[in-house]
Structure 1
């Protein structure tokens, strides 16, 4: 387990665990429970898990806490099943986002009141329910203060598709929180928590508050994830990314400007980096014409000029030096 200790009274904490490897299973659940108790704390009590779950806890997990918000990612290779729900819980809302498998929740063990399949999410207010999943289930669970939501949600459940621009922004932000939580200072904790709540509300109403400055880092990160997925697409542009994320081009460009770069600059730099890696690592380096066409440069001359400006060498010079250094 990789964890960073949080001082008493700290408002943030996090740990990650992989108990799927040989030799890690026997203490997998004990390590998970220790990480939870020391990094997340009593405000988010764990349920009692079934004996089958604690005895065969083969799970890749990561957990982060920022004040009164907790994010739990579980990618399970074994069954997960509770045997008792926690006591002393705060007034909380839970969002279950299922990426693989089926997540089940019920009032008693083994009896489902809600089933959440892959590609769906369930947002629920009320006391914790028993939950369970078969092996090979991937889920993210957000525990949020109910005061951040419309009172009409009280004691209700909302189930919808997780394939929305607002959900992509929320998941991009949770990934950033996982990556940075143990290094955040008080201001960072405050900003991370505020953005999480704003984005969770945006998922419910289907609208992103594009004038909220705390949300811009999540927007930039989500745009970069989308751009990386579409790098070879000839239609990739700020307009395409803005449509993907359900924001205006101006909002997207403003968010990138605040981060010290431009949308088109990021796309160009990523394409050049992928071209550079192809020249350095492939047994038979592609030709300049092949690279220019694959990475959507208008012609070979344009690609050569952009490559030299970025790396100080032409593609041919770079390939020669890379091969000489590696030999």
Structure 2
């Protein structure tokens, strides 16, 4: 294992950095850090002041085939990944291809802790990132332990030479792979949740007249947990029960002009899969009217 250290200021720091730097801070640009090179795994602790970063036209370092998993130990940082800008604060983590070909900005003096791994070490289902760049899910139970381990490892200089085959190398690879796997699983689940709202609404529209229809029934039919289905509805500004109620009330209103003879409250409720009590409650909470007032108002509205 090779250890490299540097602490540079001003023009020297601007020349030494692997990127084109525009200093945006109040003083001279500061760039310092330490790097542990385990062959095809590189661990870095980097501190730099406020700046804009862009790739150099000709880069004298080869980061091809590496994926870098970075943690913000302190500060604030943004980078352009794909078609969007990702912003990270203290405690956040993300990934990017390599380390020398990114466009980014440090908004405050920022310390990065970075694990750069050759992609060939991340083979296997779910071990690679699901996109070239992105954010580690903040809910990952591995995020804080990995950051804590990195802080300890990088804050204490190695008392003696460490071989490239040191167990720490395997730990770093497996932590990176596990974080990517968790983020991939979370992303897949989020996509399922996004599609769940439309699928659940379709079920409600098909089964609204079933008085036994409950949110848990819909979740089971979609093979989702009730909590995930509730999240999908919350993201669209509704609860599941509200959507069932509004669908039933809409059906009751549509049933009024289709019947030549006046409907009783009980018959109208039955058309919508509700009890008379539920219909009264739905009409009052939605329109501020009783079912009778709603019926009279609907019948007297001129046809469009």
Which of the five TM-score ranges fits, normalised by the shorter chain?
0.3 to 0.5
Q: Bigger radius of gyration, 1 or 2? A: 2
